[in-house]
C-alpha cells in the first residue's frame, strides 16, 4: 500500500512539473503594424509617373511651402499637410496606394506615412 502511495505521489509530482513547465513558456509577437518596415525609393515607369502627376495636379491641393528641399530619403516635418493618394491613381499604380503625397514647386512628392520619408518625386 505504501508503495502505491509513493507511486501515486511521484506521478502527481511529475504531472504537475510538466504542466508548470508549459505554463512558464511565453511566446509574444509584435503586431504587424508595429514592425519596422524598411522602404526605399519607389521604382516607377514613365507612364506611371505621368499618370500620378496628371491626376494629382488636377486635385488642386494646397502646395507645401518650399522652405525645405525635399529629396528622396529625406524626412518631412510633422507640420506638413499630406494627402492620401487618389483612388484613381491607386488603381493605376497599386505600388503607391499606401503612400501619402504633397505638392511642392510643381512636383508631386510621395511620402511613406510610417517613416515620414520621401520615397519618390514626380515631375511633369
69-94 burial string, b = 16+ CB within 10 Å, else e? ebeeeeebeeebebeebbeebbeebe
C-alpha span between 101 and 110 (Å, rounded): 4
Instruction: Give the model's pLDDT for residue 112.
Output: 93
Instruction: Give the model's pLDDT for residue 25.
Output: 53
CATH code, residues 36-122: 3.10.450
Q: The pTM is what? A: 0.61
Extract the residue ranges of the chain whose pLDDT is less than 50.
19-22, 32-38
C-alpha span between 36 and 39 (Å, rounded): 10
Cell of 31: 503586431
Instruction: Give the model's pLDDT for residue 117.
Output: 92
Instruction: Give the model's pLDDT for residue 115.
Output: 92
Q: Residue 110's Cα: distance from chain center in Å?
A: 14
Please name the residues in contact with 77: beta carbons below 8 A apart, sequence gap of 6 or more: 68, 116
C-alpha span between 96 and 84 (Å, rounded): 10
Amino acid at each position: 500500500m505504501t508503495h502505491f502511495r509513493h507511486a501515486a505521489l511521484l506521478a502527481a509530482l511529475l504531472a504537475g512539473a510538466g504542466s508548470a513547465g508549459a505554463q512558464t513558456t511565453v511566446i509574444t509577437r509584435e503586431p504587424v503594424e508595429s514592425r519596422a518596415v524598411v522602404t526605399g525609393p519607389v521604382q516607377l515607369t514613365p507612364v506611371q509617373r505621368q499618370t500620378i502627376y496628371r491626376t494629382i495636379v488636377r486635385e488642386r491641393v494646397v502646395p507645401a511651402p518650399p522652405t525645405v528641399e525635399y529629396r528622396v530619403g529625406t524626412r518631412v516635418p510633422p507640420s506638413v499637410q499630406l494627402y492620401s493618394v487618389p483612388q484613381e491613381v491607386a488603381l493605376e499604380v497599386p505600388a503607391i496606394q499606401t503612400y501619402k503625397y504633397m505638392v511642392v514647386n510643381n512636383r508631386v512628392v510621395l511620402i511613406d506615412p510610417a517613416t515620414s520619408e520621401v520615397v519618390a518625386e514626380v515631375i511633369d
